[in-house]
Amino acid sequence: MIMTSSLSFQPVLERIAEEIEHTPGRGRPADYIPALAARDPRSFGMAVAELDGTVYGVGEWREPFSAQSVTKVFTLALDLAREGDELWEHVGREPSGNPFNSLVQLEYESGIPRNPFINAGALVVTDRLQTRTGDAAGTLLEFLRDESGNPEVDFDAEVAASEAAHGDRNAALAHFMASYGNIDNAVPLLLDQYFRQCSIRASCADLALATAFLARHGVRADGSRLLSRSQAKQVNAVMLTCGTYDAAGDFAYRVGLPGKSGVGGGIVAVVPGRCTLCVWSPGLDDRGNSVAGVAALDRFTTLTGLSVF
């Protein structure tokens, strides 16, 4: 089925939700973050946002959830808009092939993270945004509220505290990079900003709308330009190759869209020039991606024919 009209989005979403409901094996929530461990792995929501702000959804698409690493897309865009290509001197653009919190690769590569979406890379980007704004997490929150049109998008203090209490690996990554001169701010300040960033609660509708600037080639909801067309292309490209941890190749094969996942169970995806999507289901596979979320996006591109390939 090739979709020819936006009116077809809602029936497609409803069909996907029905199929997902009858799919066995939904993975497990992120039990290493206690505040996320209690989420029902069978929860499911999905939203599609068109370029004009029209949103379609099914399931729990207006239920706020912990965005976690999905926020790394927005932090990357906000810093890239401020410093341009200088950012890429401090973080790479290549798939890691290792777990998202790996220390091993950093030592081989002298404290330069492989890409902005593994934890080490996201710490570098947050650090650089902190230097330029004085409040990286607050800048991110303001952006998400503006783009989603929802002033209730907010930090989750319980999740941030839970991550801080179990954040030794992230602290080790930050200290290790600081030893190579690749971190500007004090590590405790950086970690506080990073954990707050990851704790943001937003719904599928909120995140689909907030991601739409990438489908509009860098243009925000109010018509102002955040990124150049070339920079928007860069962010989408890194999402495609690095956005789903060490399963990016499989995601590209199955879904065929730039995407970014988080261990809260959310995934955002971009159809450049057409629409953006966000799907949420807390049950994860062993690489940290939502089982139902990947399946739903796979079905979306199959049913609609919308893909970058």
Measured CA to CA in angstroms, residue 176 lies from 99, 136, 163 at distances of 17, 21, 19
194 is in an annotated binding site: yes
289 is in an annotated binding site: no
Tokens of 192: 């506080």
8 is in an annotated binding site: no
What pTM value is reported for the model? 0.94
Which pLDDT score is estimated for 2?
Answer: 40
**Phi, psi for residue 19 in degrees, rounded to 5:** -65, -45
End-to-end alpha carbon distance in the chain: 16
Distance CA 75, CA 97 (A): 22
- Decide which of 37 and 15 is more confident: 15
Q: Is 104 left (phi over 0), alpha (psi -120 to 50) or beta?
A: alpha
Q: Please write the tens of the pLDDT for every residue from 211-266.
A: 999 999 999 999 999 999 999 999 999 999 999 988 999 999 999 999 999 999 99
Which pLDDT score is estimated for 99?
Answer: 59
∠ CA(189), CA(195), CA(200), 5° rounding?
130
CATH number of 6-304: 3.40.710.10
∠ CA(11), CA(233), CA(214), 5° rounding?
45
Distance CA 139, CA 141 (A): 6
163 is in an annotated binding site: yes
> Does the pLDDT of residue 4 top 50, yes or no?
no
Helix axes 168-179 and 119-133, enclosed angle (nearest 10): 70
Name the DSSP letter for residue 265.
S
Q: Which residue has the tokens 């069909």?
A: 15
The residue extents of the domains of the chain are 6-304
Measured CA to CA in angstroms, residue 19 lies from 15, 23, 24, 44, 270 at distances of 6, 7, 10, 12, 22
**Phi, psi for residue 258 in degrees, rounded to 5:** -60, 135
Q: Given pLDDT bands bounded at 50, 70 and 90, which one contains residue 102?
A: low
